[in-house]
Structures are given as C-alpha cells and as structure tokens.
Structure 1
Amino acid sequence: MERYSRQILFDPIGEKGQEALSQKHVLIIGAGALGTGNAEILARAGVGQITIADRDYVEESNLQRQQLYTEQHALNHVPKAIAAKNRLQEINSSVEIDAHIMDVTPEDMEQLLNGVDLIIDATDNFDIRFMINDVAEKHRIPWIYGGCVSSYGLSYTIIPGKTPCLNCLLQTIPLGGATCDTVGVIAPAVHMVVAYQTAEALKVLTDNHDSLRHKLVYFDLWKNEQSSIDVSQMKQDDCASCGQHPTYPYLSYHNQTKTTVLCGRDTVQIRPPQKVNRNLDELVHFLNRKGGKVEHNPFLVSYSYNDNRMVFFKDGRVLIHGISDIKEAKKLYHQILG
C-alpha cells in the first residue's frame, strides 16, 4: 500500500476507501481532454478497472490539452483508446484497462456496463450525453457530467433516483452554442473540470456520498468567475428519462445520430445504420486502385483525395476531414465507396 500511502493518509479515504477503490469499475466515454485527465487520475488513484470508449484517433491539435498523448501518436494516427490504454498501463500496471474503438450506441452502452460502478462523461456532444443519461437512469448507475470550452467549464454529479437528471436540467438551464471549433479551449479549463469530476468520482467510489456536491458548478478562469446552482428542485416528475414513468427516449434508434459534424475541426463522421466488420486489407487494395494517398495501421485506413482526407475504421465509421457540410460529406462518401 506504499504506492497509495499519501492517499490513505487522507482520512475520508483511508485504508478502507483504498480497498474499495481497488474493487471498482469506471466507464469513461471519450478519450479526449476530459477523458485522458480523468483516466490518468483514477489510474494513479488505484481504481481496479477502467474501461475507455472513444471513436477518434490522435491528431496534432490534441496535444495542447490531451495529456496522455505524444507527437508519435499523432504522427501514426493511433486511435485514442489504444494510445490511452498503453500509457495508463505504463502509469499503473495493476489497473485493468479495457479500450474500445467505437462510436458508442445504446447497444454498445448496454454491453459496456457490465460491472460498472460509475460513468464519467468525457464527450463533446449532447447526443451521447443524453444516451449516457438514459442508460444510467435505466440501470441506476451514477454518472458525472463535465464540459468545457474556451476558458469556461461546468460539472454536475447525477445519482439516479435522487438528483435531477440531465434531461430535467436542460428543460431549465440554457447551455449556449459555443464549441471548441468556434471559440477554442485552454488547458487550465480542462484540468479544472477534471478536478471537479475526479473529486466527485473518488467520493462515489469510496462510498462518501454525504460529501457529494449537490450543485451544478461552473466557472470562467479567464474572467475569474466561479459559481454554482442548486438544482435539487429541478427534478421533473414527468421527465421521460427519470420521471415516474420513464421511456428512456435517447436509447431509441430514431434518436441516434448517424451523421455528425465533429467538434474542433472541419470533419464529418458518417456511421452506417448497422455496425460492420470492415476488412481493412481489402479496403487498402480497393482505394489504391482509385489513386490518391493511402496510409494504414492495424486500426484504421487514411485516404487522401484532392483536398479531403477520409479515415475508415473497422466498425464501418468514416471521418471525412476538410468538410463541415453533411451533404457534401455524404456526396464524397458515396463518390469514393459507391
């Protein structure tokens, strides 16, 4: 226990809490700025198992704030989930790290939840957050919402059956339309959100529920502002996600996004209606006959065509870089693949 001696000396955790941490399983959705920060702190804290799911790969623009990644990861287009797993295992080999390269769907969420004690939101869009919210309410699993953009951030801990859910809050609290694509983001804002999320995670995982923050906290580091909102009265009895007769609307097929403009760059993701197991070797052979530049590794194929670049994953997803218009992206997609 010498490794965790300073954490054990913190009385609210102690030896009992440290033992509890070693038995817990955390699911982190997203391996970007928030995901890598949360994963590293929880791995260093000695959480027994961490599952990471992410759809993207490392790019140079990530290195400013996504702390587990290196220039070599960006150069080789390594999927974030794989790069994160390898680095975390170097940090703490006693922690079991499961990595999944996927764009999480409701079906995926159901499969990933086996034995999970806590879900951490490290995503960049509300489609997935609403999905997390519904599946967490359905299975009564606590989850911690987090978001940041520019110098601003916020976080909120949701305990199913006790606190308002995200669907309740968004009927009351406007969150604005700014994204990292339009206004950027600075690393200190990321680290502040991570600090709030991981502090709450340690409370949940060590059964210190009385110490949980029951308010939505938000801040702007550049403007030296910080505040919180008491949201306890915002729980809606008729909420479709956590009310008296929940229907979990965001687990429905019709509420799943098939085409998405990704945050942070001119990129459209196209996901087929059903998952496929794409043969990357055959794809490389197919694309080489079309001309253009083809690069590949065991996880993906990158194809540069005129001013655009397409990145193909095994699960059928395609990222089309250099385009922010969904119609144009679909046109190029069908032009290349038929």
Structure 2
Amino acid sequence: MMDRYSRQILFPPIGEKGQKKLADKHVLIIGIGTLGTQSSEMLARAGVGKLTIVDRDYIEWSNLQRQQLYIEEDARKRTPKAVAAKKRLEEINSEIKIHAHIMDVTPEELESLVVGVDLIMDATDNFDIRMMINDISQKHRIPWIYGSCVGSYGMSFTILPGQTPCLHCLMETVPVGGQTCDTAGIIHPAASQVVVHQTTEALKMLTDNEDALRGKLISFDVWTNQTVQMDVSPMKKPHCPSCGENPTYPFLQFDEQTKTAVLCGRDSVQVRPPTAQQRNLKQLAEQLKKTGGEIEVNNFLLSFRIGEERMVIFKDGRALIHGTNDVEKAKTLYHRYFS
C-alpha cells in the first residue's frame, strides 16, 4: 500500500523511486533502548523493508521515560526489549520484516548479523560494542551511523568505509570514565535530536542520496542551545588499524574484548576491560553519588550498592558484580555504572 507513504513520496528527493529502494533495504539496529526504539520506529514507518534489532537487556521502569516503544506492562513483566520492540513495530507496519535477537553482541555474533545488511545503526550504550561495530563495518564495507547522548548533550557521525575517518581514528582508544545516563541522567529531547540526525542520514543513504550526507560530526546541547558541526576528515589516519592501509580490525580480536568470569562458589562475576586502566576512584564516586546508591571508597577500590545490586571496582578497571552468576546481567551493570 503506497498510500501510507504518500506524503513521503511527495518529497522530491525520495519520490516513488526512493520509496521502492527503501522497501528493498535491510538495516541492522544494535541496541533497542533510548535511541534504538525511536530510530527503529522511524525507519519502520518510513517503509524500510527489513529491520534486524538486537538487544541483551529487559525493560525496567526507568526506561519508560524515554524508550517510547515500551509500556508499563513490559516493565512489570521484565519483557526483553527485543521482544517488546518487535511486537510494537509489527503493529506499526505489518508490511515489513522484523527480526529480533536477544543477545549480547560479540564479534562472532556480528559476523552473522551483518550478512545482507545495507546499513548499521548504532544505538548502544558503551564504546566496547561501538568499537566492534566500527571494525565489522570496515571489514565488510558497510556504512554505519554513530550516535550517543547523555544529559542534554548528543552527538552523531556517519561513517563511510573507505571515505570518512572511522571511530577508531577519532577516538584512538576506547574512552574511560565518561558519564552515562545512569550517572548524569538524560532528557528525552536530547535523545530524540540524535535520532533525528541519525535517521535523516539513514534515509539519504537508503534512497541513494549520498550527495546530501552531512559529511561532518555534529554535536549539540539542547539545554544550552549550542550546536557544533566539525569537519573531521583530516583525522582519517592512513595507519589506523581499523580502516587504514593494512587493517587488522583489533576490536574483533579476543584481546580487545571485555572479559568475564564466573567466580566459583561466590555468586559473583568478574568483569575485566580489554586493557588495564587507571581509574580515578574519587571521581567515579562523585559521579555515582547522583544515582542515590551507597558508596565506599579507599585507595584501592570502590564499593557500590544500589537497590539489590552490589559491585566493587578496582583501580585497574576490573570489577566484581556480586549476587549473580549471570554474565550478561553483570556486563549490563558494569557498562551502566562504570563504563
């Protein structure tokens, strides 16, 4: 039924030809939280023929403020995000195909997920996964759109393999000690603004309007009314291990992945970052105070308790997540509070 897309077809850069192209495209969305729920809904309503959505988490009450596909019943039942999102998206547009996966994304999963994909949308909550996405994108020459937000601040950049700098070029190494939504909060308009930039760029690519792509990294603060567009093309590095002349794709290698281990007899999971870090525990304690949790810190470690969850992080970035043997839950808590 082309009638449902009639107003979009009236937009000259898309038209009937572009609409048919959308119907033939496959987009992979990694993370179905704040960004992923909105971008998946926009692309579903736009008529993208196939969406693959991936998330490892379930719905909590704190998600309802900004993750718009979910309702109170989802939080009561702790429904996996991928399951609830698939149901809502199919209700929004029954003509398209939705494939949902409840999984923790690793390089192995990514290799199978990207088969036949035209575009990858970043809707994750940590740089561990983003750097994997970056490398798989470069390896298979699939464009991807980076997006992140915290507080009232957001950022987006479209990465085209072989043309633009990749995320590794821009970041050099995985950032350590940044703010997260659980330590700095977030307002819905900031996330929505990121999604607007991401999905607009997506529609340009999926309808073969690459000439209209922004070509710059955009950052903004919706509260202080600041917007910056930065030309980062000079930052492309010829010797970048992810996108350079002789790529090795380091973040697809085991050594560059977050490691986990269930501690025998202790009902705890150890989470270790890819490389040893030097965490500023006092600074981290200040960030965690905003959560309302209980914090104890000394020269060697920080102990953090919030609700029924108890965690300990050491100066080298290694953490113990107590009260669980569930590796996926432990990684989620680690990235939520310590990433």
> Is the pair's TM-score, using the shorter chain for normalization, greater than 0.5?
yes
| 2:5 corresponding residue in structure 1 | 4
Deviations 1:235-292 (A, max 9, x none): 00000000000000000012121349xxxxxxx9878xxxxxxxxxxxxxxxxxxxxx
Are residue 249 (structure 1) and residue 236 (structure 2) matched? no
Report runs of 4+ in structure 1 exceeding 4 Å deviation.
Answer: 172-176, 268-271, 326-331
Structure 1 residues 173 and 80, CA gap change in structure 2 (3 angstroms): closer
- 1:25: Cα distance to partner? 0.2
Equivalences for residues 169-318 of structure 1 within 5 A: 169-171=170-172, 177-259=178-260
Residues 8, 180 of structure 1: alpha-carbon distance in 2 compared, 3 angstrom cutoff: same
Task: Identify if the C-alpha distance between structure 1 residues 246 and 14 changes in structure 2 by more than 3 Å, giving closer, same or farther.
Answer: same
Aligned equivalent of 1:104: 105
Identity across the alignment (%): 62
How much does 1:176 deviate?
Answer: 7.3
State the secondary structure of the residue aligned to 1:64: coil
Tell me the SS of whatever aligns to 1:324.
Answer: strand
Matched to 1:58, the amino acid is: I
Partner in structure 2 of residue 322 of structure 1 = 309
Q: Distance in 1 between matches of 2:231 and 2:321?
A: 44
Aligned counterparts of 1:233 and 1:175: Cα–Cα separation in 2: 24
In the other structure, the counterpart of 1:15 is 16
Displacement, 1:15? Answer: 0.4
CA–CA distance in 1 between the matches of 2:269 and 2:152?
Answer: 27
Secondary structure at 2:163's aligned position in 1?
coil
Change (3 A) 1:8 1:245: same
| Aligned residue identity for 2:253 | S
Matches within 5 A, 1:151-166: 151-166=152-167
Cα distance, 1:328 vs. partner? 7.3
Structure 2 residue identity aligned to 1:323: R
Contact 2:127–2:174 (8 Å) recurs in 1: no
Contact 2:311 2:322 in 1 (8 A): no
Deviation at 1:218, TM superposition (A): 0.4
Report the Cα distance in structure 2 between the residues aligned to 1:123 and 1:77, rounded to whole angstroms: 19
Per-residue Cα deviation, 1:293-316 (whole angstroms, up to 9, x for no partner): xxxxxxxxxxxxxxxxxxxxxxxx
Distance 1:232 1:253 in 2: 30
- Could you say what the CA RMSD is over the residues aligned between the two structures, in angstroms? 2.5
SS at match of 1:100: strand
The change in CA–CA distance for 1:118 and 1:137 in structure 2 (over 3 A counts) is: same
Aligned length: 282
Shift of the 201–269 alpha-carbon distance from structure 1 to 2, 3 Å rule, reads farther
Q: Deviations over 1:161-193 (max 9, x none)?
A: 000000001139989712112110000000000
Spell out, residue by residue over 1:134-187, the C-alpha distance to the aligned partner (whole angstroms, 9 max, x if none): 000000000000000000000000000000000001139989712112110000
Distance 1:141 1:248 in 2: 14
2:282 corresponding residue in structure 1 = none
Determine if contact 2:270/2:319 at 8 Å carries over to the other structure: no
| Partners of 1:56 and 1:173 in 2: CA distance | 22
Distance in 2 between the 1:178 and 1:334 partners? 27
Q: Is the 8 A contact 2:31 2:123 kept in 1?
A: yes
Paired letter, 1:231: V
Q: Distance in 2 between matches of 1:23 and 1:330?
A: 44
Report the equivalent of 2:329. Answer: none
- TM-score by length of structure 2 reads 0.79
